[in-house]
Structure 1
Amino acid sequence: MSLRTTIAAAAAALSLGLPVAASAADVKVAYVDLQKVMLEVDDGKAAKTRLQKWLEDRQKEIDKEQNALRTEKETLDKQSSAMSAENKAQKEAELQRKVMLLAQKWEKSRSEAATKEQQEMQPIIQKIDGIIAVIAERDDLGFVLERRDSGIVFARSVHDISNEVIRAYNASKKTAAKDAPTKK
């Protein structure tokens, strides 16, 4: 069970047992904005840049094909009066087939983008989950809730550990790079 699933389950349990938890002043609760963390950690920024470039490249391909189809349609419209009905219908059917193929390519590209995003972000999310667990253990937190998924409407900023998670994540990358063996 991932930390995020555990947090969601804990949030549900916390909301059901809030009167009990409120009386037990020993329980410390914090929250984290995972969206903010993902966008601000160095690996998240790099992944977002890679994904954006990949998406832009795919969009350029699709735009180029779309413009070619537009030109082909304009040419067909200009020449249609000189064509036989059968030839015109055949050309229109071919153009329609190309439009459908382009639409399928666009849809496939969207699907690939979602898969690529998940592949890029999954290792980052796992590392973030680990850092949150370390902070929770260190600070003796009973719960760490995800700001958006937990249903938090209001919470004081002193309970937000998002910036601490970002700092710890980025610091762990620098420490890992410094401690990495060097070739001589």
Structure 2
Amino acid sequence: MKKSILVPAVLMIAAIFSCSAFAADANKIGMINFEKILKESSAGKVTQKELQAKLDELKEKLQAEEKKIQDMKVALDREALVLSAEKKLERQRELRDRVDDLKKMNADYTQEMQMLQNKKMNEMQKDVFDIANKIGTQKGYLLIIERKGAGVIFAADKVDITDEVIKEYNAVYAEKK
């Protein structure tokens, strides 16, 4: 009686393990780390340099305007005793207008930088996703996810294909240049 139960149980266990072994090869999952691609790829490095150069340019403009405002304030303080009340009010109004213009300029530059950064990141993301699709199709991946966007807490190193994507992206970027 025990033999009649033991044989089917052993066969069922063997079938379960053999099915999962076959399924493991067919269900390849890959993961990419976009932040690493941004830091290490040629295109990412160029993009970061371009964004930093633009940021430095805008900061210089803001600092120049701040210097002008500071100079106006010093001049107003110096001349406050000799100016008529009407002239003093006019200069104070000019100073307030310049400060308001500086605040608006700062907000405009912040928005401009945000838009430029979003544009560059979207371009890179499109290229990276195209490359990931190509790799996924060629190598038979069932799923490729982005580490941060998917909320991955842990993934084994063997599923990380970021280095492969970076290599392909560098090749594609070099061809574009």
Would you call these one fold, judging by a TM-score over 0.5?
A: yes
Structure 1 CA distance for aligned equivalents of residues 51 and 172 of structure 2: 23
SS in 2 for 1:151: coil
**Percent identity of equivalent pairs:** 25
1:89 equivalenced with 2:89 (yes/no):
yes
The C-alpha deviation readout for 1:52-101, integer Å capped at 9, x for no partner, is: 11111111111011011111101111221222333222211110100111
1:57 corresponds to: 57
Q: How does 1:17-36 map to 2 (within 5 A)?
A: 25=24, 26-36=26-36
Aligned length: 154
1:172 equivalenced with 2:172 (yes/no):
yes
Structure 2 CA distance for aligned equivalents of residues 136 and 124 of structure 1: 18
Farther off after superposition, 154-163 or 114-123: 114-123
SS in 2 for 1:81: coil
Structure 1 position 119, deviation (Å): 3.0
1:68 equivalenced with 2:65 (yes/no):
no
CA RMSD of aligned residues (A): 1.9
SS in 2 for 1:152: coil
Structure 1 position 109, deviation (Å): 1.1
1:10 corresponds to: none
1:158 corresponds to: 158
Structure 1 position 38, deviation (Å): 2.1
Q: How does 1:124-139 map to 2 (within 5 A)?
A: 124-139=124-139
Farther off after superposition, 98-107 or 138-147: 138-147
Structure 2 CA distance for aligned equivalents of residues 41 and 85 of structure 1: 62
The C-alpha deviation readout for 1:15-34, integer Å capped at 9, x for no partner, is: xxxxxxxxx64422221111
Which consecutive residues of structure 2, in runs of 5 or more, have no partner in the other structure?
1-22
TM-score (norm 1): 0.76
1:144 corresponds to: 144
Structure 1 position 39, deviation (Å): 2.6
Which consecutive residues of structure 1, in runs of 5 or more, have no partner in the other structure?
1-23
Structure 1 CA distance for aligned equivalents of residues 119 and 42 of structure 2: 17
